[in-house]
Amino acid sequence: MNMTSEQIQARVPVTILRLQGDVDGSNFQQVIDRARELYQAGARHLLVDLAGVPYMSSSGLVALHNIALLFRGSTPPDPQEGWRAIRAMGDASAEGLQPHVKLLNPQPRVVHVLDQTGLTAFFEIHTEQAAAIGSF
């Protein structure tokens, strides 16, 4: 899997993290680590571009949730902790769409996994980059 990032100046600075390739148990920690680097470098609004991700397992969901909590300023749960992490997702999703991390162009298989776990109620999903950036 490859990752690239860029920053766009809109109403607020928005960082785009583009993922390319499958996200699974072999690389989800790399996604978290890259997002943490961006956060530590000052990024506060993140758009995760999933157009290049044909497949995502629950490990990828845990990564997305972990990143969302990180950008919210919360301490993310241990990503290895399965249900503990998904329970934390449930707690967070009860608050509605969270404002700091949004998704761009997830492919149908990835949307299906998001649906299966109820995370479509947690992440704002956009199909156009300009609209996504303007939404922050």
CA distance 118 to 85: 13
Binding-site size, other proteins (CB under 8 A): 24
Q: Say how many residues make up the chain.
A: 136
Give the nearer residue to other proteins in terms of CB position, either 96 or 99: 96
What is the full DSSP assignment across 37-70?
A: HHHHTT---EEEEEEE---B-HHHHHHHHHHHHH
Structure token digits, residue 42: 């000052």
Residues 2-41 that bind other proteins (CB under 8 A): 22, 24-26
Give the nearer residue to other proteins in terms of CB position, either 89 or 104: 89
Residue of 80, 99, 127, 134 interacting with other proteins (CB under 8 A): 80
- Nearest in space to 117 (alpha carbons), one of 57, 74, 33, 31: 57
Region binding other proteins by CB under 8 A among candidate stretches 3-11, 30-38, 66-74, 107-115: 107-115
Residue 67 sits in the site that holds other proteins (CB under 8 A)? no
What is the full DSSP assignment across 88-105?
A: HHHHHHTT-S-SSEEEE-
Give the nearer residue to other proteins in terms of CB position, either 59 or 105: 59
Residue of 112, 128, 131, 134 interacting with other proteins (CB under 8 A): 112
